[in-house]
Amino acid sequence: MLSGILLFNQKGENLIFRQFRNDCRPRLSDVFRIQVISNAQVRSPILTLGSTTFSHVKHENIYIVAVTKSNANAALVFEFLYRLIALGKSYFGKFDEEAVKNNFVLIYELLDGAFISPLLNYLLEEVAEILDFGYPQNTETDTLKMYITTEGVKSERAIEDSTRITMQATGALSWRRADVKYRKNEAFVDVIEDVNLLMSAGGTVLRADVSGQIIMRAYLSGTPECKFGLNDRLLLDGDGLTRPSGNKSGTKATRAAAGSVTLEDCQFHQCVKLGKFDTDRIISFVPPDGEFELMRYRATENVNLPFRVHAIVNEIGKTKVEYQVAIRANYGTKLFATNVVVRVPTPLNTAGIQTRTSQGKAKYEPSENIIVWKIPRFTGQSEYVLSADATLTSMTNQKAWSRPPLSLSFSLLMFTSSGLLVRYLKVFEKSNYSSVKWVRYMTRAGSYEIRF
């Protein structure tokens, strides 16, 4: 019947190899890895090469493979493979790569049979093992657990699933204690976005997207229920939000720049009630105590670019390159960016650089072949210019300069490139205490590149 059982991960690494007959060699692992796992064209669960047949099932992130040499009953082979998966789930919750690595001793014990005693092993060998010389014997979980009593190591995901079931049955929260108390009840919300841009030399936006996250620090007593609304659907007034006094000037500018936004790839913390979000677009949750990531998202439509960069680069013969780089802030005059750094590439054979800037300082870094232009504070609607002349050394085998794109890094408070806004944050608790809510927006440069 079966000559062997093999388990692989998605990379083709052999996790389990158990041969039942002498015609099953370890090199068969390499054959399956090359012919099936590394071959994107393979679609069939059965592969026959010469006299060897590989029947496999992919479950989670592993391959379970049965090797046969004879004309075996295919239906019986696949029935056994699915029984093996069910058996693994019964012993250690999840049957995936992590579970296999944590429980490989138990898996071999199931395949080989448990050692009970010299006398009982002879009488019960067909009961305490699932295969005998390649022939399926017993795959009933309850029967096997009478003899193979080793406890399986539960994977983290299996523990999370069981925790979720316990919460639904008992109402208990695994992420929060009920006896949390604070003298002053506060909730801090940080909307942090990384804006990515790739712009052509002609000023055409080739790619622009935003990767964002909402970080919350909840210092709230008891087990409060929070309701959190964004501007992806409704605009609600009278939200009672309090913003840091130092950033009041950015509130109107941010609101004016944003309309209704479309979010993609939303991922929420386990405390969020997803059903409520799908129906009402309201993020309802009982927050963990302290800091946690409430939500992740992406936005690819109507991206507000904080900076516009225009670069002119002229190569004068083979000995000189002239740079003219202008950068303009697209946000309001009451906002300002900090730690703005422009990195302008130079040819590999650059001997020296002369720079002139209307704001900030520029310095040539020969180890990286770039001009680093630093502007500590960049006020909204301002425009600054960098002029530079690069002197080049002559080379015997001079290649054409590839002109890699210039890049930009910055931090900008009270501005969101996606246009996302927190419309309201409400806290409900049975003692009906008052709480203070703070919201801050931060936009940073992800991969912000401009070709020239």
Task: Residue 240: name the closest of 187, 295, 276 by CA.
Answer: 187
Q: Spell out the domains of the chain, with CATH numbers in brackets.
A: 2-158 (3.30.450.60), 186-193+200-299+419-432 (2.60.40.1170), 307-413 (2.60.40.1170)
- Reported confidence tier of residue 142, pLDDT bands at 50, 70, 90: low
Q: Has residue 150 got a pLDDT over 60?
A: no
Structure tokens at 110: 């199931």
- The lowest-confidence range among 74-83, 159-168, 286-295 is 159-168
Is the pLDDT higher at 408 or at 172? 408
Q: What is the pLDDT of residues 362-371, one digit of tens each?
A: 999 999 999 9
Residue 122's pLDDT is 38
Going through 60-127 in order, the beta strands assigned E by DSSP cover: 62-68
What's the gap between Cα 435 and its chain centre?
33
| 3-class secondary-structure state, position 147 | helix
Angle at 244 between CA 243 and CA 250, to 5 degrees: 70
- Reported confidence tier of residue 151, pLDDT bands at 50, 70, 90: low
Q: What is the pLDDT of residues 5-25, one digit of tens each?
A: 888 888 888 888 877 777 666
Q: Has residue 240 got a pLDDT over 70?
A: no
For residues 61 and 198, what is the distance between their CA atoms, to the nearest angstrom?
A: 34
Task: Residue 191: name the closest of 225, 223, 228, 224 by CA.
Answer: 228
Q: Has residue 239 got a pLDDT over 50?
A: no
Pairing between strand 135-136 and 131-132?
Answer: antiparallel
For residues 304 and 209, what is the distance between their CA atoms, to the nearest angstrom?
A: 9
Tell me the pTM. 0.60
Pairing between strand 320-329 and 307-316?
Answer: antiparallel
Q: Has residue 153 got a pLDDT over 60?
A: no
| 3-class secondary-structure state, position 148 | coil
Q: Has residue 274 got a pLDDT over 60?
A: yes
For residues 312 and 306, what is the distance between their CA atoms, to the nearest angstrom?
A: 20
452 Cβ partners below 8 Å, 6+ apart? 201, 311, 312, 313, 403, 405, 406
**339: region left, alpha or beta (phi > 0 left; psi from -120 to 50 alpha):** left
Task: Residue 97: name the closest of 20, 31, 29, 16 by CA.
Answer: 16
Count CB neighbours of 1 within 10 A. 19
Structure tokens at 417: 């490139």
For residues 240 and 61, what is the distance between their CA atoms, to the nearest angstrom?
A: 47
Is the pLDDT higher at 23 or at 98? 98
CA distances from 20 to 55, 65, 78, 215, 323 (A): 16, 14, 17, 54, 72
Average pLDDT, the chain: 80
Residue 380's pLDDT is 96
What is the percent of the chain with per-residue pLDDT over 70, rounded to a whole number? Answer: 78
Residue 242's pLDDT is 42
Q: Has residue 358 got a pLDDT over 90?
A: yes
CB 335 within 8 Å of CB 252 = no
Going through 60-112 in order, the beta strands assigned E by DSSP cover: 62-68
Q: Exposed, middle or buried: residue 169 (CB in 10 Å: 0-12, 13-18, 19+)?
A: exposed
Q: Has residue 154 got a pLDDT over 60?
A: no
- Reported confidence tier of residue 82, pLDDT bands at 50, 70, 90: confident
Q: Has residue 125 got a pLDDT over 70?
A: no
Structure tokens at 263: 């979010």
Is the pLDDT higher at 19 or at 309? 309
For the segment 156-168, the average pLDDT, to the nearest whole number, is 50
Residue 253's pLDDT is 34
For residues 87 and 82, what is the distance between their CA atoms, to the nearest angstrom?
A: 9
Owner of token pair 């991969």: 447
Residue 397's pLDDT is 72
Phi, psi of 146 (to 5 degrees): -70, -30
Owner of token pair 């246009």: 419
Q: What is the pLDDT of residues 400-446, one digit of tens each?
A: 888 999 999 999 999 999 999 998 999 999 999 999 999 999 999 99
- Reported confidence tier of residue 128, pLDDT bands at 50, 70, 90: very low
Task: Residue 312: name the closest of 228, 235, 437, 202 by CA.
Answer: 202
- Reported confidence tier of residue 101, pLDDT bands at 50, 70, 90: confident
Is the pLDDT higher at 295 or at 93? 295
What's the gap between Cα 81 and its chain centre?
32
